[in-house]
Amino acid sequence: MINDLIYLVGMKTMTKLFENKVAMITGGASGIGEGITNVLSEKGAAVAICDIDENAAKNLAEKINSAGGNAISGYVDVVDKKSLDEFVSYINSEFGNLSICIPNAGVVGSKDFSYRKDYNDSDWEMTIDVNLLGVKNTVDSVKDKFISSKEGKIVIISSHGGRKPRGTGDKGRGNVQHPYLVSKAAVIQYMHLLAQELGPHNINVNAVCPGRIWTPIWEAIAVNNKEVNPEYKEMSNYEIFIEQIKQVMPLGRPQTPEDIGNAVSFLVSPDASEITGQALNVNGGASMN
């Protein structure tokens, strides 16, 4: 009995997986970003939450701190390299040992894309600016520090939409999503190049490709599905979401932000020290590659 109690106390006081590690998550205040932030924080990381929604980032940081975690927050627009550099300087002044970077911030299209069947120039400009150049800016803001310290983990959040085109179950998708899908394919290739570039410096670079997660972004996609496919007109946004999942995912269920957080957690952990240049699908089997 006494031995059992000693064991339980010891388990509670064990070092957490990411204790003494610092992680920066862009777009970390909501949706997938929030799931990643919460998982890494629960496993002991100090988290630096940056988002274009400064209040949401602040509220999440306060919630984590009140629960015994360690978090800071700030405004960042990933299109603006200066805002990233300033936030990284803030991280270094507060925590000092940033070694995990999660470029997560992303958009599907420009304003009101949900109500259009085809893309416009603004859709291309915004998705490339945020989803591709924003990732490049984020990596550039931490790369030199990671190289100098000979340590770093980078996990880019792409999408299974960045894989080969799928037809079955995607009958509601119009051309308006083309820029998004291209941008997500591009960051997978960028990840491959980074893995080659940074591997000699002991820096792992991978990507996670989420499937379908009920977030404000996917609800906007569901609205667009109604514009494209008359069969969906009488369905709620969430019903469209679930209907498409059942058609394309063998597991038949949506993913959660925490599912993506768990995949990220694995890729930045010591267990994945020999994994780099890989894009991991977390999509219920919708894409198998």
pLDDT tens readout for residues 166-193: 654 455 556 778 888 999 999 999 999 9
Model confidence, pTM: 0.88
- Residue 15: the pLDDT is 63
Please determine, for residue 199, whether its predicted confidence score (pLDDT) is greater than 80.
Answer: yes
Q: Are 264 and 208 in contact (CB under 8 A)?
A: yes
What is the tens place of the pLDDT at every residue in 105-126?
999 878 876 767 778 888 899 9
Q: What percent of the chain has pLDDT over 70?
A: 91
Please give the pLDDT value at position 161: 85
Residue 190 confidence (pLDDT): 98
Average pLDDT over residues 42-47: 98
* Statement: residue 216 has pLDDT above 50: yes
Architecture of domain 15-282: 3-Layer(aba) Sandwich (3.40)
Look at residue 133 in the predicted model and tell me its pLDDT: 98
Query: What value does the mean pLDDT of the chain take?
Result: 89
- Where do the domains of the chain lie? 15-282
Lowest mean pLDDT among 1-15, 26-40, 63-77, 206-220: 1-15
